[in-house]
C-alpha cells in the first residue's frame, strides 16, 4: 500500500497519472483500496472512490459509477458544483450517454470553465479510486470506461491521479498494454514479490488472538494443554491460502463463530473432522462458481474437464519434470489443437495463470480451487471425479509411452511402471522439448496417478493398445524371440496393470488364460473366470499356435 500511495501522490512529472493494480480473485485488492481510501480521505486527497460489485445492480454498471464519481468530486471540490449543475440542467439525459460523453459533459467541461473563472486552484490535486473494474457490465463497457478515465486524467485542469484495481482479465490486459494507456499507465501486480504470506500469517495470528480474547469459550481455550492454534496449523493455513486473502478471511469467518467451538471448526477446515452439513468455504465456493459461470455455457463442460486434468497434472509435474507446465504440454498429451488451452481458459485468468512467460507456465492462483473441483458437495454441477480424472490422465500417459517407444525394457521382466521409467530415460531427447518433457512425466508419474484411478473406458483402451502392440511384435518374432517367449515377457512386465485390474474385478477373455497356461504360469487372482472346461497346458499350446491375434485382446 505504501508503494501505491507513493505513486499516486508523487509530484514527479515522470510518474504516470493512472496506476493499474491487478491480482487474482481474492488477492485482497478491495481491502487495499479501502484502506488507501481512508488514508487519502484523512489527508484531504481523496477525490472519489467506487467499488464495483457484480451482483449489485447499482454497482455493476458505468452510469452509476459516473454519477457517483461526479457527486464525490463536487463534494471534494465544492466550487465545481455550480458548473456541474448547469451542465445537467442543459442536458438532463446525459446519464444515458456513453461513459466518454458523460465524463466530458459532467466533469471536463465544467472543470475547464471553473478553472477559466479562477475558482479552481491549479496547484490542487485529487485521487480517484476504482475497484473491481472487471465486475462492471460487459467487457466492451469496461474497455470504454478505462479509455474515458484516461482522457479525464489527461485533460482535467487540476492534477488528477487514478487507481484502477481489477482481476488480470485478458481484455483488460490488452487495453492497459496498448496505446494510449501503455504510455500513460503504470501497473502493480499483487504477486509473491509483495510477500503476501507474511501479511496473511500476521492476519491469521491477530484474528486467532482475538478469538482467544473474545470468544465465549475463551476460558476453555486458554486451558488447552497444547497451544491453540498450533504453529503447524497456521503454517498449513498460510500454504493453502496461496497468497490469497479471501481464503484467510473465509477461514476466520467460519472459525470465529460465537455459536460454535473454534477448535472443532478449525479441525473441519484442516480436514481432520467431518463438516457434516456445515459449509466452511461458502464464501470461497461462491466466488469460484461466479468465475466459472463467466465462461461460455457451451464450453463449460470441457473447460472444467481441462481444469480438473490441470489440477491432477500439477500434483506431480514440477517435482518430476522440473520445468514450468506449458499449455502445449497438455494439448499434446490430450491430442488437442495448438492454442486450445488458452482459448478455453481465457475467461478464467482470475483463478488460473496462463502466462506467456516461458519460466512461469500454467498454475492455479488458489490451491483450494482444486479441492473445490473435486468435492461435489461444494461445486455441484462443476464437480469432477478425482479418480476418473486421474484415470484419464493415466490413460493419456500410457498412450504417450506406447506411441513414443517400443517398450524394449519391458522385456526385462520388470513391471510396466518400472520399465516405463527406463523407457523414457533411454528415449529422452537431448533438449527440453515438449516430447522429452512428456516422456519424463508419463514414465515417472504413472505410478502416482495409477494409485488414484478407477476403471474407465479410456484407461481400458490404453492398456489394450499396449497389449495389442506387443502381441503384434511377438507374433512377428520381434527381437529374435518366439511369440511365446515375447508374450511371457509382456505378461510379466504388465503385472502392475494386472494387479490394478484385479482390484477393479475386471474379467479377461479366455485367450489370456490360454497364454498363461502355455507359459506354465499359475493363473493369477486377477483372472476372475474359471479356465474353459478341459483346457490344459498342452491344449493351450495347440490353441495358441492357431490363434489369430487382433488389436483388442481384453
**Distance of alpha carbon 145 from alpha carbon 151, whole angstroms:** 10
Who wins on pLDDT, 142 or 420? 142
The pLDDT value recorded for residue 431 is 59
Q: Which run of H or E residues covers position 338?
A: none
**Distance of alpha carbon 368 from alpha carbon 257, whole angstroms:** 22
Closest to 437 in 3D by CA, of 308, 321, 326:
321
Please say if the pLDDT value at position 504 is more than 80.
no
pLDDT digits (tens, 9 = 90+) for 164-214: 999 999 999 999 999 999 999 999 998 877 789 999 999 999 999 999 999
pLDDT digits (tens, 9 = 90+) for 462-486: 776 766 665 565 555 545 555 455 4
Please say if the pLDDT value at position 552 is more than 50.
no
Q: How large is the average pLDDT for residues 397-417? A: 56
Average confidence score pLDDT of the chain: 82
Instruction: Judge: domain 2-190, CATH 3.90.550.10.
Output: no
Who wins on pLDDT, 457 or 282? 282
Note the pTM of the prediction, 2 decimals.
0.77
- Identify the residue whose cell numbers are 517435482: 319
Q: How large is the average pLDDT for residues 105-119? A: 95
Who wins on pLDDT, 502 or 320? 320
End-to-end CA distance of the chain: 63
**Distance of alpha carbon 204 from alpha carbon 221, whole angstroms:** 17
Please say if the pLDDT value at position 25 is more than 50.
yes
Name the E strands within 46-189: 46-51, 125-131, 159-166, 185-189
Q: Which three cell numbers stand for residue 161?
A: 491521479
Taking each helix axis from N to C end, the angle separating 327-334 and 434-444, rounded to the nearest 10 degrees, works out to 70
Please say if the pLDDT value at position 242 is more than 60.
yes
The alpha carbon dihedral of 471, 476, 478, 484 has a sign of positive
Confidence of residue 282 (pLDDT cuts 50, 70, 90): very high
Who wins on pLDDT, 531 or 64? 64
The pLDDT value recorded for residue 551 is 29
pLDDT digits (tens, 9 = 90+) for 331-364: 999 999 999 999 999 989 889 998 777 778 899 9
**Distance of alpha carbon 414 from alpha carbon 422, whole angstroms:** 10
Please say if the pLDDT value at position 405 is more than 70.
no
Residue 59 half-sphere exposure toward CB, CA atoms < 13 A: 11
Least confident of 39-48, 277-286, 469-478: 469-478
Amino acid at each position: 500500500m505504501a508503494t501505491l500511495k507513493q505513486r499516486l501522490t508523487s509530484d514527479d512529472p515522470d510518474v504516470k497519472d493512472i496506476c493499474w493494480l491487478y491480482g487474482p480473485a481474492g488477492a485482497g485488492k478491495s481491502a487495499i483500496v479501502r484502506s488507501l481510501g481512508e488514508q487519502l480521505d484523512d489527508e484531504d486527497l481523496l477525490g472519489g472512490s467506487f467499488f464495483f460489485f457484480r451482483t449489485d445492480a447499482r454497482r455493476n454498471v458505468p452510469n452509476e459509477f459516473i454519477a457517483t464519481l461526479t457527486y464525490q468530486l463536487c463534494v471534494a471540490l465544492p466550487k465545481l458544483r455550480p458548473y456541474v449543475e448547469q451542465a445537467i440542467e442543459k442536458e438532463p439525459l446525459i446519464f444515458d450517454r456513453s461513459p466518454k460523453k458523460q465524463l466530458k459533459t459532467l466533469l471536463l467541461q465544467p472543470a475547464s470553465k471553473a478553472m477559466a473563472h479562477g475558482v479552481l486552484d491549479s496547484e490542487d490535486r485529487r485521487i480517484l479510486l476504482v475497484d473491481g473494474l472487471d465486475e462492471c457490465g460487459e467487457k466492451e463497457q469496461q474497455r470504454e470506461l478505462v479509455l474515458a478515465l484516461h482522457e479525464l486524467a489527461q485533460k482535467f485542469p487540476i492534477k488528477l491521479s487514478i487507481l484502477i484495481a481489477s482481476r488480470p482479465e485478458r481484455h483488460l490486459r490488452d487495453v492497459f498494454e496498448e496505446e494510449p494507456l501503455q504510455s500513460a499507465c503504470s501497473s502493480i501486480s499483487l504477486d509473491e514479490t509483495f510477500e503476501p504470506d507474511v501479511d496473511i500469517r500476521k492476519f491469521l495470528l491477530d484474528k486467532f488472538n482475538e478469538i482467544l480474547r473474545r470468544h465465549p469459550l475463551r476460558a476453555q481455550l486458554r486451558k488447552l494443554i497444547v497451544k491453540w492454534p498450533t504453529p503447524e496449523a497456521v503454517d498449513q493455513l498460510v500454504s493453502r491460502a496461496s497468497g490469497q486473502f479471501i481464503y484467510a478471511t473465509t477461514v476466520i469467518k467460519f472459525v470465529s463463530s460465537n455459536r460454535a467451538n473454534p477448535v472443532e471448526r478449525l479441525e473441519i477446515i484442516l480436514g481432520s473432522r467431518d463438516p457434516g452439513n456445515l459449509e466452511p468455504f461458502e464464501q470461497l465456493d461462491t466466488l469460484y462458481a461466479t468465475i466459472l459461470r463467466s465462461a461460455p455455457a457451451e464450453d463449460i463442460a470441457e473447460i472444467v474437464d481441462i481444469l480438473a486434468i490441470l489440477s491432477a497434472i500439477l500434483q506431480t509435474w514440477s517435482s518430476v519434470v522440473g520445468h514450468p507446465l506449458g499449455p502445449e504440454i497438455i494439448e499434446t498429451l490430450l491430442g488437442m489443437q495448438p492454442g486450445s488451452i488458452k482459448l478455453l481458459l481465457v475467461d478464467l485468468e482470475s483463478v488460473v495463470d496462463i502466462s506467456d512467460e516461458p519460466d512461469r507456465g500454467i498454475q492455479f492462483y488458489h490451491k483450494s480451487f482444486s479441492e473445490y473441483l473435486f468435492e461435489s458437495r461444494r461445486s455441484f454441477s462443476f464437480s469432477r471425479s478425482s479418480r476418473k480424472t486421474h484415470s484419464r490422465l493415466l490413460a493419456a500417459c500410457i498412450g504417450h509411452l506406447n506411441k513414443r517407444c517400443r517398450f524394449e525394457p519391458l522385456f526385462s521382466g520388470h513391471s510396466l511402471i518400472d520399465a516405463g521409467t527406463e523407457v523414457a530415460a533411454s528415449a529422452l531427447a537431448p533438449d527440453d522439448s515438449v516430447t522429452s518433457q512428456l516422456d519424463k512425466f508419463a514414465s515417472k508419474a504413472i505410478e502416482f496417478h495409477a494409485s488414484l484411478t478407477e476403471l474407465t473406458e479410456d484407461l481400458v483402451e490404453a492398456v489394450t493398445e499396449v497389449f495389442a502392440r506387443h502381441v503384434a511384435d511377438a507374433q512377428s518374432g520381434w527381437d529374435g524371440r518366439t511369440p511365446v517367449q515375447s508374450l511371457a515377457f509382456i505378461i510379466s512386465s504388465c503385472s502392475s496393470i494386472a494387479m490394478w485390474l484385479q482390484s477393479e474385478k475386471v474379467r479377461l477373455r479366455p485367450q489370456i488364460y490360454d497364454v498363461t497356461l502355455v507359459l506354465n504360469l499359475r493363473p493369477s487372482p486377477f483372472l476372475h473366470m474359471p479356465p474353459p472346461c478341459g483346457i490344459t497346458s498342452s491344449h493351450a499350446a495347440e490353441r495358441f499356435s492357431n490363434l489369430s491375434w487382433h488389436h483388442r485382446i481384453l
